[in-house]
């Protein structure tokens, strides 16, 4: 299958990287943040479309606990108002569900509902009011243990709970979503950003048929010394056997550079060391390799000038555009910045 490149793709700027870093080691780095955004990690989500009446979608929420009762996920489900088509609504699943909710407003819901076959929306988040729960997502979205930098310049070793979360989604979340909203099992999309983008790719590799579209925005391919780029990918390529799936991989052009970073910040220095296993063109090259796999339809897009944080909204809006048919709002500001997106 031929790789589809978006017209937004821009060439690699290694000269900029080298000049800004002043470190040969940084030439191997993709300057991605370990958390979804470099904003206040304690920020709460406040009021969202899930807490407002909508003429377009009906929202419900439920919670799922781990077997030991120590972890709780909060899931918001939004069904288009009206009769579901035979076979159920297609469904668009979002990880980091608390943060994803902030990116929706009534105008976007109206546009989604106006499509010939609207999508149900599934927001998989955590049972708190944090926009981003860094500790929980590091645990849940990583398929193997690794390290992530923290603000004091040190690292925390952890993670590896990706398969456990997949079990929760398959055994607990998906049946409850289907009980509340009729969904089409053959038309399901999974979107994630950063570590959640890594999780989306891991799901593609290990749960054939769980979704038909996998959207990975700025996937943290550096996690675990780039382990996902090795044996997991090779096993998937060898055994996919023509199973059909669509794969969307997005990256911010600014993520290939370090000029915008404070290289005197110990946290940045630690992060550059951690991500050295994934060269700046890792996401693009991965898309190229996957495009050669029988059954896969792969699209790679690079967003000119965007750094890791803004890629959260950009990759989500792009995926919604590609999957649901709405206009592409990837260049509109995030409601998380206190700016209402223009329509």
CATH number of the domain enclosing 55? 3.40.50.1820
Tell me which residue has tokens 């979804």. Answer: 36
Which listed residue (255, 282, 284, 330) is catalytic? 255
Is position 102 within any domain? Answer: yes
pTM: 0.86
Residues 163-173 have a mean pLDDT of: 96
Is position 200 within any domain? Answer: yes
What's the rounded Cα separation, in Å, for the pair 314 and 56?
23
Sign for the pseudo-dihedral over CA of 304, 310, 316, 321: negative
More confident residue, 299 or 336: 299
Which listed residue (194, 315, 330, 334) is catalytic? 194
Is position 342 within any domain? Answer: no
For the chain, the domain total comes to 1
Residues 65-70 have a mean pLDDT of: 88
Token couple for 327: 């206009």
* Total count of residues recorded for the chain: 343
Specify whether 54 is catalytic.
no
189-227 residue pLDDT tens: 999 999 999 999 999 999 989 999 999 999 999 999 999
What share of the chain has pLDDT > 90, as a percent? 69
Reply yes or no on whether the pLDDT at 22 is more than 60. Answer: no
Specify whether 308 is catalytic.
yes
More confident residue, 21 or 321: 321
Specify whether 193 is catalytic.
no
Which listed residue (308, 315, 330, 334) is catalytic? 308
Is position 8 within any domain? Answer: yes
Which segments of the chain are extended strands (E)? 4-5, 57-65, 72-80, 89-94, 120-126, 145-149, 155-159, 183-193, 213-217, 245-252, 296-303
Range of the domain at 217: 4-337
75-125 residue pLDDT tens: 999 999 999 999 999 999 999 999 999 999 999 999 999 999 999 999 999
Is position 343 within any domain? Answer: no
Is position 73 within any domain? Answer: yes
What's the rounded Cα separation, in Å, for the pair 62 and 177?
9
120-126 and 213-217 beta bridge pairing: unpaired
Residue 334: Cβ-neighbour burial (10 angstroms; 0-12, 13-18, 19+): buried
């Amino acid at each position: 299958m031929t790789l589809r490149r978006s017209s937004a793709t821009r060439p690699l700027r290694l000269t900029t990287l080298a000049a800004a870093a002043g470190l040969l080691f940084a030439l191997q780095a993709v300057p991605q943040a370990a958390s979804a955004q470099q904003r206040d990690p304690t920020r709460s989500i406040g009021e969202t479309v899930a807490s407002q009446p909508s003429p377009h979608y009906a929202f419900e929420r439920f919670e799922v606990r781990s077997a030991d009762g120590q972890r709780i996920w909060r899931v918001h489900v939004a069904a288009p108002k009206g009769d579901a088509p035979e076979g159920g609504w297609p469904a668009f699943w979002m990880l980091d569900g608390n943060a994803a909710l902030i990116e929706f407003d009534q105008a976007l819901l109206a546009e989604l509902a106006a499509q010939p076959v609207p999508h149900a929306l599934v927001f998989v988040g955590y049972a708190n009011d944090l926009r981003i729960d860094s500790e929980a997502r590091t645990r849940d979205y990583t398929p193997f243990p690794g390290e992530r930098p923290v603000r004091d310049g040190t690292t925390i070793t952890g993670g590896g709970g990706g398969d456990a979360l997949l079990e929760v989604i398959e055994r607990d979340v998906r049946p409850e979503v289907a009980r509340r909203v009729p969904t089409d099992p053959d038309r399901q999309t999974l979107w994630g950003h950063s570590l959640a983008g890594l999780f989306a790719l891991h799901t593609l590799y290990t749960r054939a048929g769980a979704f038909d579209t996998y959207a990975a925005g700025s996937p943290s391919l550096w996690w675990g010394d780039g382990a996902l780029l090795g044996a997991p990918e090779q096993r998937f390529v060898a055994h996919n056997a023509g199973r059909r799936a669509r794969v969307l991989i997005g990256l911010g052009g600014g993520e290939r550079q370090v000029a915008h970073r404070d290289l005197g910040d110990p946290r940045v220095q630690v992060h550059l060391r951690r991500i050295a296993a994934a060269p700046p063109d890792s996401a693009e090259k991965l898309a190229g390799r996957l495009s050669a796999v029988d059954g896969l339809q792969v699209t790679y897009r690079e967003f000119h000038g965007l750094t890791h944080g803004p890629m959260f909204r950009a990759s989500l809006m792009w995926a919604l555009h590609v999957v649901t048919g709405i206009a592409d709002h990837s260049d509109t500001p995030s409601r998380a910045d206190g700016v209402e997106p223009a329509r």
